[in-house]
Structure formats: structure tokens, C-alpha cells
Amino acid sequence: MIFFTEDQKRFCSWIKEFAAREISPGARERAKLDHVVPGLIKKLADAGLLELTPSPRFSSQPKDFVTVGITFEEICRIDFSLMIILLAQVLVYSMAEWMSEELREQLLPAAARGEKFLCFANTEPDCGSDATAIRTRAERNGDSYIIQGEKTSVSGGMQADAFFMTAKTGPEQGAKGITLFYVPLDSPGISRSRFNDMGNLPATRASIYLDGVRVPLHFRIGEEGEGFSKVMRTFDFSRVLVGLSAIGLAEASLSETVDYVKTRMAFGAPLSKFQGVSFKLAEDATLLEASRLISYKALRLRDEGLPHSKEAAMAKWFGPECAVRAIHDMLLIWGHRGYSEANPIEQRLRDAISAKIGDGTAEIMKLIIARELVGGRFGPTI
């Protein structure tokens, strides 16, 4: 990347080598499991890749936002299943400044060592993109809260030890009535059920049911009514990372296909000689590079403390869109071989589609971009 600093370039070289050495062996087989292998989480922790924050206050190995993006792109190029682990760490450290001191001391060291797997839940059966329409309630009861409701489509939900979740503490106050909580998943009153998904299988997407779950006051993140704004601030970061994760999948598929078309013969010539093939490679390489540039621009703006909601939404829409198109094109170039489970491209296509849904659909991202362009008063509503 032309505007990486020398430190970022060195980190990029190092993490490519780390991923090839430590993550690549067995990655194809792991993509079909229904969980993330704990040994891999330990490898990420030992390499210092689970302290994903630029804050020296909370991390012994702070990393700027661009470097976090490099981590996602390069790790997910090799093993997409680890995206959910890395995203959980981003969430933990993004919320650290709003946690009680007691919760920080309990959570951050364990998360950095890979001993605590977290996930996040906002979506409910009757609302996804309409994040303020949640029905889950949290009622204050002395020095604790009692939570009642259901969260669904929770990535990591079956394997996580605890989760961050939104709940209504002021049901009539809209976005200002939403509060954020940390909830251990072994709490009395919690049950879970798994989704059987077409891709991204190790993410163990789940529904989580909360029936009178009691959490102490110090598990509240920030003050009452601040949950929605805090989640939106985190999304401006996580959305870019989801986009880069999908781009990593597509880059791996493109690279393998470039090698393949130089050796696969048809009509007495390598496939690379045919414009119908080579033009697809050229188009997808260009689209992936464009989506990378948008993504890293958004992260650079975040590093500089500048507004980047528009760029984050662009990255979340355009990155997965280009990735799915590119992987699909590569599968067709491989032909029947690409359609076989023996080829990793078919799995990558199913995995990449998940990136078009989580953390905001393309339609929601376009709403955000349009509002940023024309101003909230003139922007689209639904």
C-alpha cells in the first residue's frame, strides 16, 4: 500500500510470514468446523494480536488503526474463521474506556491472553437494521439489572464465554433509551440455539435467550442511555475491518487463479491468453484495489481523529460487494474444479457472502453515505 509507513510495511511483512507459518496449515479443514480451534486463539494471543487498540493505557502492544486493518486483511486471507475472534477483541478494546475499573481488570488481561472469547448482540427477531427498535428490557433492581429478551444472529454466540449486548432501559426514549451491558453467558437464565449456516461456519451464529438474567451494576458499559451512540462509534471501525476481511478472501482466490490460468491449457494455449479470462482478472484486481484504498483511507482518517462514517460505510458496502464478485468470477474460471469442495474457492464464496450482512447491509451503508453527502436534513430516511 503506497501510504503505509515504514513500521506498517514491516508489520505487514511480518504478519504475512506469521500467517503462512502458523495459521495456514489446516486452514481449509478448519473452515468446515463448527467452532474456532482454541489453539489458534492461543497463537494469536502469543503473537500479541489480541490487543487491538492504539491506546497504551489498555494495551501493552498498542497498534494504530491502519495496522489493525492489516491484521484483518492478512489473517483472513489465510483463515477467515479467525475474523470473529479478532472482531471480538476490537469490540473489547473499543469499549474499554467506558467500562468500570472492576470490569476492565477482570476482562482485559484475560481477553489479551485468549482466555476469554467475547461476542456482541444487538439484532433481535423483529429488528436488525433498525437498531433502535429492540425490545429486550433491562430494569434496574438495586445494585443490579434484570434483563429479559432475545438476541439473534449473534456471531460467535455458541462458543463465546460472554457477550456485550444492548437493552432498553428507557423504552419510550428511542435511541437515548438504549444501554450497553456485559453479560457472562453462563449466567442463570441464559439459553442458546445454533443457526445452521451456508458459510462462515466456525462463527457459530446463534440466538441467545435471556429470562430474568441478573447482572451487577458494574457490568453496565457507560451510563444509561449511552449504548446506541457507543455502538455506532464502534461500527465506524468494525465495518471497515469486515470489508477488509472479505477482501483478503478474494485476494487469496485471485492469486491462486492467476497461477492456475498460466498453466491450464485450452485449445493449445494457456487460459491467460484468452481475453475472456484475463479481462475478468483485470477487472476484479482493479475493484479489489479500489476497495482496499477506501478501507485504508477510512482507517487513516480514524487514526488522525477525523470524521470517517462515510468512508467506513463505503468500505463495508464496496469491499464485500467486490469480494463476492471476484471470488465468484474466480470459481467460474476454475470451472468444475472450482465448484468442488476440494477447491477452497467454493468455501470462500460462501464465507464472503456473510460479510455482506453482518455489521450492516449494503442498503444501510448507502443510506449512511447519502446522508453524509447531502446532510441529514436532506438525506433519505428509509
Q: Say if strands 206-216 and 162-168 run parallel, antiparallel, or are unpaired.
A: unpaired
What pLDDT shows up at residue 1?
A: 61
Q: How many CB atoms lie within 10 A of CB 220?
A: 25
Hey, what's the cell of 182?
456485559
The full DSSP string for 147-216 is EEEEEEEETTTTT-SEEEEEEESSTTSGGGGEEEEEEETTSTTEEEEE---SS-GGG--EEEEEEEEEEE
- pLDDT (tens digit per residue) in 237-254: 999 999 999 999 999 999
Q: What is the DSSP string of 222-276?
A: SSTT-HHHHHHHHHHHHHHHHHHHHHHHHHHHHHHHHHHHHH-EETTEEGGG-HH
The verdict on 364 and 348 lying in the same domain is yes
Same domain, 125 and 166: yes
* pLDDT level of residue 128 (50, 70, 90 thresholds): confident
Confidence (pLDDT) at 240: 97
Contact yes or no for 247/323 (Cβ under 8 A): yes
Greatest distance between any 2 Cα atoms in the chain: 79
Query: Considering its fold, how many domains does the chain have in total?
Result: 3
In a domain, 381, yes or no: no
Which of these three, 76, 95, 116, is where a domain ends? 116
Q: Are residues 271 and 209 in the same domain?
A: no
- Digit-coded pLDDT (tens) for 271-280: 999 999 999 9
Inside any domain, residue 170: yes
202 and 232 in a common domain:
no
Judge whether 379 lies within some domain. no
139 shares its domain with 188: yes
Distances (CA, A) of 130 to 125, 355, 376, 378: 11, 18, 17, 20
- Beta-sheet pairing, 137-141 with 206-216: unpaired
> Does 236 share its domain with 365?
yes
State the pLDDT at residue 210. Answer: 98
User: What's the CATH number where 33 sits?
Assistant: 1.10.540.10
Q: How large a percentage of the chain has pLDDT more than 90?
A: 89
Q: pLDDT tens across 1-44, in order?
A: 668 999 999 999 999 999 999 999 999 999 999 999 999 999 99
Say whether both 236 and 354 belong to one domain: yes
Clarify whether residues 364 and 284 are in a common domain.
Answer: yes
Q: Tell whether 209 and 268 lie within a shared domain.
A: no
- Residue 254's nearest CA partner among 278, 228, 283, 285 is 285
pLDDT of 88 reads 92
Same domain assignment for residues 171 and 208: yes
Q: Are residues 130 and 102 in the same domain?
A: no
Q: What is the pLDDT of residues 164-207, one digit of tens each?
A: 999 999 888 888 999 999 999 999 999 999 999 999 999 999 99
212 & 344 share domain: no
Domain holding 243, by residue range, is 228-374
